[in-house]
Amino acid sequence: MKLLSTMLLAGTALVFAGSAQAQESYKIGGGPAGGGWHPAVSAGAQLLNSELDGKYKFNYSPSNGSVDNVRRVSLGKFDTAWGHIGQVFQAWNGVGLFEEDGANKDFRVIANVRKQSQIVAVLADSPIKTFSDMKGKIVNLLNKGSGSNVNCRNIMIGAGIIDSIETRNLGFSDSARALGDRQIDVFCSAGAPFLIPALTQLSITKPVRYISLTDEEQAAVIKTNPFYAPVTIPIQTDVKGMDAPAKSIAYDVFWLAHKDVSDEAVYDMLKVAAAPDNLKKLAATAAYWKTLNGDFTNLEVLKIPVHPAAAKYWGERGVDVPATVVQGY
């Protein structure tokens, strides 16, 4: 009898051990404090854990932003994360900020999170009207490691003023506060798609204006960075002081997965996160989720592949995913 009990206990232990091993664990990267990605991806991880409990475990980890996320996913230090198309392109081809890393083909795109634009703003009463006027001024390019920092630098390089400005690398909230206190002259950051909450809030008490690229400056930025598209930001009524449209650049934010994430996990992540009812819940917490979609058109030109499991999911949702961009490992 004692032997039978021992055998039963041993068998039970093996069952539980097998269950524990069956649960796949993945690390999901977010963003820096004060930015939109931190609360958005954190909420996404909580939803995935809630609905897929017992099958997967998603461990959320803050990050420095797009550059950090893409590098970590490429190297397998993050299993999944969001990244700007600029960094995705550079990592895939081993160029720009990823030249020393070398080309990396160990990740795939699984969703299009949204389009963003780059916003460059000043206080409404500032004498700065153009990018040329920024020469000799203090321009905040946001925190290093973020995609916004890269985009800000690319814009300043395209406008031909990067060597003529005094740069700062303050985070989202700190940079808006610094602009209001006149500690910096120019604020630069990603917009989602045309607004930045901290800047919009500042404009209520201290009106701000968006600065526009000239046609030539806009073309120069895009020529050097083919993953950007031209955009004209319309007047934003929520931004007090904005009285004219502003030419800038637009770009996609993609959701990535490393090759170690199973095909089933990729499919299940999307099935949960992209379900219409769940997207409404997520969007109530973070607006970034509102536009999650399967538009991979831009990837055809850039020759960056979509994960087959993601193509399967979006295809079931009625999205025509180009077969030319669907690729396994």
Enumerate the domain spans of the chain: 24-113+253-325, 116-251
Domains 24-113+253-325 and 116-251 share a fold: yes
Whole-structure pTM value: 0.81
Q: In this structure, are residues 164 and 135 in contact, taking their beta carbons and an 8 Å threshold?
A: yes
> Average pLDDT, stretch 157-164?
96
Helices (H), the chain: 2-22, 37-51, 66-75, 85-93, 147-158, 172-180, 197-205, 215-224, 263-273, 276-285, 297-302, 308-316
pLDDT digit string, tens, across residues 167-225: 999 988 899 999 999 999 999 998 888 998 889 999 999 999 999 999 999 999 999 99
Q: How distant, in Å, are the alpha carbons of 1, 63, 65, 294 from that of 29?
A: 52, 6, 9, 20
CATH architecture assigned to 24-113+253-325: 3-Layer(aba) Sandwich (3.40)
Band of the pLDDT at 13, cuts 50, 70, 90? very low
Which of residues 123 and 7 earns the better pLDDT score? 123
> Strand 56-61 to strand 166-168: parallel, antiparallel, or no bridges (unpaired)?
unpaired
Alpha-carbon span 295 to 253, nearest angstrom: 11
Asked if the model's pLDDT at residue 5 lies above 70, the reply is no
pLDDT digit string, tens, across residues 239-287: 999 999 999 999 999 999 999 999 999 999 999 999 999 999 999 888 8
CATH of region 116-251:
3.40.190.10
